[in-house]
Structure 1
Amino acid sequence: MDYVKLGRTGLDVSRLCLGCMSYGVPDRGTHAWTLPEDESRPFIRKAVEAGINFFDTANTYSDGSSEEIVGRALKDFARRDEIVLATKVYMRMQPGPNGGGLSRKAIFAEIDASLRRLGTDYVDLYQIHRFDYGTPMEETLEALNDVVRAGKVRYIGASSMYAWQFGKMLSISERNGWTRFVTMQNHLNLLYREEEREMLPLCQAEGIGVIPWSPLARGRLTRDWSEASKRSETDKVIPSLYSRTEEADRAVVEAVAEVAAKRGVPRAQVALAWVAQKQAVSAPIIGATKEHHLDDAIAALSLELSEEEIAALEAPYVPHAVAGFS
């Protein structure tokens, strides 16, 4: 496993981040397709043994049970000082007022709840899961600065939002001498490339580490257009991200299949290699619910796509409406 600096920090992370949304109690939250703890632990252990030191979860995944499972597994399989543990805040965790969002009250309550579930004294990377239109940016940024100063968080990051919003937040932090975002976790894959327009150039200019979510488009890039999986049939987010009737998207999926066939490798390797080779990208966030998922992801890091292959993969793409911001 190779390691890179996360953005402009001195923090070393593996070139792959294991996304842990797939690990959680199926009956808790809205992800009925998740793996329970006994089925999740082998994947986390295999990732550690493969040299992956970067793990991403969120307070909202499976109603907090993802954090619980990940925390227990990493305590058993890894040394805490070698692990880069990331989680998120924003999504609603309880009914009623102040049950979600990025207010000072919510951030202070949720970081403590995440630490309890993870079984750790600090989080390496604490990310705002989405932009909060109901809270002043200054309130959110000062609260994040304070949890860093309190020693509960080492670095802070952001997730899907408009580039102007991210740029303004970076500017506010700089003016006030507050802890600055070091990462952007955004939606980027061959079926959704809108982040190439403004967000990726902004991150490169500002030294922000990019850690894309859904680099395989929820598996759409790894199988024939007409095929489905348990997750694709039950994941309530997929319909808002990808369409099965968009001819251009179908052409992209077919291009991945063609390049993979010529290379003699699984489609997942080709799709992930495309994301990993993006100059702004530090570490794509990959999911793993089958043994070969980790094997393919690791192999993708060694797959160098030619300029001709990249052109063939990108040629069918057409502009898409913004997706993944809510």
Structure 2
Amino acid sequence: MDFLSGLFIDFGQQILSSVTAAFAIAAVGLNLHFGYTGLLNFGQAGFMLLGAYGFAITVEMHGGFWLGVLVAIIAAVLFALLLGIPTLRLRGDYLAIVTVAAAEIVRIVGGNQGLAPITGGAAGILGSVYQPAFTALSPFPQNGSFQVGPYNYPMTAGDSWYLRIVCWVVLAITLLITYLLTRSPYGRTLRGIREDEDAVRSLGKNVYARKLQALVLGGVFGSIGGVLYVMSASVQPDSLGRTTTFLLYTCLLLGGAATVFGPVLGSVLYFMVIIGLNDFVSQFVPSSVMNEQQIPQFGWIVVGVGLMLLVIFRPQGILGNKKELSFGD
């Protein structure tokens, strides 16, 4: 019973986590790309990292919180235009090739020691550099903590209630935007582009412009998710690499692409699975069989196998509609 109670407490802690909300926001952006428009973006982590760097560097240069957010958004827009303008007129998977390469370029440049005075190099930018600009806006006391059931967090400092509330409010706003957008004629055009862009083009719609707009908006969501993701940690280039994009696709496909709440459900379930595996293995598997360093690796294996099975047997995800979206059709 102690194991089960501890497991449920860990589940609730992860559901409330700012990391879960930040991943869900980035996955909502990826959903606009892949789920609704059919754009194979394998560089969403690049948008997240670019937004995190844009925000942190601006604040470090005394630009303030709101200017930092604006710079993060502008960086995402420019990045999307740079990727989309030369590739979205082409057919096939050119965007996938370009985005995965561009995201790696952002990561490598960010970790370059020659740029350490700006980006911090491989060590990144410490959270203490930019977090005060965020916490200064808190309506809660700067000191002290608040307990809700078994969960006791600081009011403002660090990984606080304030950060959690902001992250989930921003997530709610992105979901509202997605809901209104995808149920409008514009959203139906995006779905049409995903299914048959030639048919949409024959109706007089500018397919290229619509795809570029979707890439920009989804990239902005990814950038905002990146800013919130580093609010409880630091900006480190290797923490937002290829693996992050893989995780975002896992969250998206698990919950259901081309659904409003699919990315949120997928993000919550993904982190619950990871927490559950870690707790179960730590409790019941002897250290002689699997030590603490091997437990996260085992989790990656399970998630990878689970993703393959999901794509094979339920490609539409939990909330998705198989008639609308599935691989290979």
If the length of structure 1 is used for normalisation, what is the TM-score?
0.23
If the length of structure 2 is used for normalisation, what is the TM-score?
0.23
The structure that is strand-richer by fraction is 1
The structure that is helix-richer by fraction is 2
Q: Answer with 1 or 2: which has the greater Rg.
A: 2
Q: Which has the higher contact order (CA 8 A, sep 6+)?
A: 2
